[in-house]
Amino acid sequence: MQTIPRVKGTQDFLEKGLYQFILNAFHEHVSLYHFTQVSTPIIEHVELFKRTLGTFTDVVSKEMFLLQSAESKDNLCLRPEATAPTMRAFLQVLPATSWKVYSHGPMFRRERPQKGRYRQFHQINTEVIGSSSISQDALLITMLDRFFQENLKIESAALQINFLGSYEDRENYAQLVKVFVDGVQGICDTCMERKDKNILRIFDCKNPTCQKIYEDAPIMIDHLSAESQKEWEQLQTELSLLSVTFSVNPRLVRGLDYYNKTVFEFVSAQLGAQNAFCGGGRYDRLADELGSKKSYPSLGAAIGIERLMLVLEPILDSLALPQPKPLYIIMPLAAEQNPLALILADTLHAAGLTTDAFLDGDSLKSMMRRANTMGAAYALILGESEQKDNTVLVKNMMTGDQEAIAQVDVVSYLRK
Ligand code: HAM
């Protein structure tokens, strides 16, 4: 019989030290900014994403993992992102105050897998729900920038920002782009389709011919209303005031339809084609799109944890990753010593010492070899004579020194 392989585009995490370090560091960091943690389900109604991300986005039209069964009429899916679910949760609870929340967990998109692009990936997602001030955008971006620069010491990252204007600005701009596209020739079939369905998506096209043609297309920030122009300038001034380095990428539109005004991405050249490890922006109408009678202008961002881990790989030495605690291995020499081994392990666990016991009756030689591979600090050997004398043979795995210690004194001996 053949073994069953991993599902395409997914990963097994065999060691989660760095992953956990990122989560802990983020938790500490965002607590300073008064974010609290929430969690929403992995399954949601498909309609939630259709209404918010846009029916013609790649995520909704091609990449959804749909869950349908013969018995159920529910149209469910695995969540491709966490912003719409967070807003759904907010509208369901309708708390008295605005929300500053973060969550983390797996997201699912049926994309073509490659380095940094998976079908199940993990995000840390932050949302500020119920704030219309552009200063809040500056604060959120600064919070993320400080996290990457100060807490994680990333030097290879660059922040790109753009401004999509109000929804009306965007409509007017889409018209200008349409006129431009109608006047050119040679764009690919996908772009021709996007032209009719969701014209701003043409800027996501990777086809070099299309890219070349779009170099001459009108630019959103050249066509902002006076009010949007003021906010766009305010954002840049406030980021500069807070010493956040950024560059303006006028072609940054992001792949989801709910954005207006501010959009941004943190990118790293280290990542290759999938170079964004964090992206976000403002989404002032998402609550309305979900049927809310009241508007909740909001903004947020998501960090791709796998991509962030790739960025951190070369600079792990500069991070204060927690060192593993010393490991103690209990080695009963025969099954008769197993009960004593269990009692000794229980005593060591109660004393807060990281302890494992080899209970499968291996030879001492093979147990020593295993303990060495595990990087154990001490071996605690229990044979017939130790059992009789109420002692343990404690062996220092680094020096090879060994000593018989009374069982009652083992914890204090190891603590020394
Ligand atoms: P997004 O740009 O689609 O935005 O995803 C955010 C980040 O998740 C990306 O920058 C990337 O690091 C990571 N990511 C996305 N797709 C994949 C994939 N297939 N494999 C690995 N990593 C991936 C959102 O999801 C928005 N909900 C962000 C947001 C929050 N906007 C406002 N609030």
Do residue 372 and residue 411 come from a single domain? yes
Confidence of residue 23 (pLDDT cuts 50, 70, 90): very high
Provide mean pLDDT across the span 291-314. Answer: 96
Of all protein residues, the one whose alpha carbon is nearest to atom 15 of ligand 1 is 304
Confidence band for 355, pLDDT divided at 50, 70 and 90: very high
| Å from CA of 409 to ligand 1 middle | 54
The answer as to whether 48 is a domain residue is yes
What is the spatial order of strands in the sheet that 76-78 belongs to? Answer: 43-45, 76-78, 65-67
Q: What is the domain extent for residue 337?
A: 327-415
**Residue 186 located in a structural domain:** no
Examine the fold and report which residue of 301, 318, 335 is the final residue of a domain before the chain moves on.
Answer: 318
Ligand 1 in reach of 58 Cβ (< 6 A): no
Number of domain units in the chain: 2
Residue having the nearest C-alpha atom to atom 18 of ligand 1: 117
Q: Quote the pLDDT of residue 213.
A: 93
pLDDT category at 293 given cuts 50, 70, 90 is very high
**Angstrom distances, CA of residue 276 to CA of 61, 113, 117, 221, 318:** 22, 16, 11, 22, 22
2 assigned to some structural domain: no
Same domain, 242 and 359: no
Q: Name the domain boundary from 291, 318, 345.
A: 318
Please tell me whether residues 265 and 136 are part of one structural domain.
yes
User: Which residue lies with its CA nearest to atom 20 of ligand 1?
Assistant: 117
Task: Decide whether any atom of ligand 1 lies within 6 Å of the 353 Cβ.
Answer: no
Let me know whether 278 and 231 are in one domain. yes
Ligand 1 site, residue 130, Cβ cutoff 6 A: no
* Domain presence at residue 209: no
Distance, CA 68 to ligand 1 centroid (Å)?
25
293 and 385 belong to one structural domain: no
User: In CATH, what number is assigned to the domain containing residue 387?
Assistant: 3.40.50.800
| Ligand 1 atom at shortest distance from the alpha carbon of 111 | 19
Strands 76-78, 99-108: pairing is unpaired
Identify the burial level of 71 via C-beta atoms within 10 angstroms of its C-beta, where 0-12 means exposed, 13-18 middle and 19 or more buried.
Answer: exposed
What is the SS3 assignment for 261? strand
If you measure from the C-alpha of residue 158 to the centroid of ligand 1, how many angstroms do you get, rounded to a whole number? 16
Whether 160 has a pLDDT exceeding 90, the answer reads yes
Same domain, 262 and 400: no
Backbone angles phi, psi at 360, to 5 degrees: -100, 15
Per the confidence metrics, is the pTM higher than 0.85? yes
Distance 256 CA to ligand 1 centre (A): 10
Q: Is the CB of 81 under 6 A from ligand 1?
A: yes
Q: Closest residue (by CA) to atom 3 of ligand 1? A: 255
Assess whether the C-beta atom of 100 lies below 6 angstroms from ligand 1. Answer: no
**How many angstroms is it from 401 CA to the middle of ligand 1?**
53
pLDDT at 97: 85
In a domain, 360, yes or no: yes
> Could you read off the pLDDT of 65-91 as tens digits, one per residue?
999 777 767 799 999 999 999 999 999
Residues 279 and 137 in one domain: yes
Higher pLDDT, 264 or 190: 264
Please report the pLDDT score of residue 138 as a whole number.
Answer: 98
For ligand 1, atom 8, name the residue with the nearest CA: 304
User: What is the pLDDT confidence band of residue 55, given thresholds at 50, 70 and 90?
Assistant: confident
Q: Is 266 in the pocket of ligand 1 (CB under 6 A)?
A: no
Residue 174 placed within a domain: no
Residue 272, sorted as left (phi over 0), alpha (psi -120 to 50) or beta, turns out to be left
If pLDDT is split at 50, 70 and 90, which confidence band does 21 have? Answer: very high
Q: What is the pLDDT of residue 20?
A: 96
Residue 232 confidence (pLDDT) above 80? yes
pLDDT at 132 over 80: yes
**How many residues are listed for the chain in this entry?**
416
279 lines ligand 1 (CB under 6 A): yes
CA of 345 to the centre of ligand 1 (A): 44
In a domain, 191, yes or no: no
Domain match, 78 and 42 both: yes
Tell whether ligand 1 has an atom less than 6 A from the beta carbon of residue 277: yes
- 150, 289: one domain: yes
With a 6 Å cutoff on the Cβ, whether 127 touches ligand 1 is yes
User: Both tokens of residue 80?
Assistant: 């491709």
Average pLDDT over residues 334-351: 98
380 or 201: which leads in pLDDT: 380
- The pLDDT tens digits of the residues spanning 92-108 come to 998 888 899 999 999 99
- Between CA 29 and CA 33, with CA 32 as vertex, the angle to 5 degrees is 100
Q: Which of 318, 343, 377 is the last residue of a domain?
A: 318
52, 137, 144, 307: residue to mutate for ligand 1 pocket, most atoms within 8 A of CB: 307
CB 261 near ligand 1, within 6 Å: no
Task: Clarify whether residues 46 and 161 are in a common domain.
Answer: yes
**Is residue 184 in some structural domain?**
no
Check whether residue 160 and residue 279 sit in a common domain: yes
Q: Could you tell which of 274, 303, 309, 311 is best to mutate to test the pocket of ligand 1, judged by most ligand atoms within 8 Å of the CB?
A: 274
pLDDT bin (cut points 50, 70, 90) of residue 234 is very high
Ligand 1 atom having least distance to the Cα of 80: 25
Statement to judge: residues 332 and 240 lie in one domain: no
Nearest ligand 1 atom to alpha carbon 254: 2
Check residue 68 and give its pLDDT.
79
Residue 272 pLDDT greater than 90, yes or no: no
Mean model confidence pLDDT for the chain: 94
With H, G, I as helix, E, B as strand and everything else as coil, classify residue 100. Answer: strand
What is the CATH number for 44? 3.30.930.10
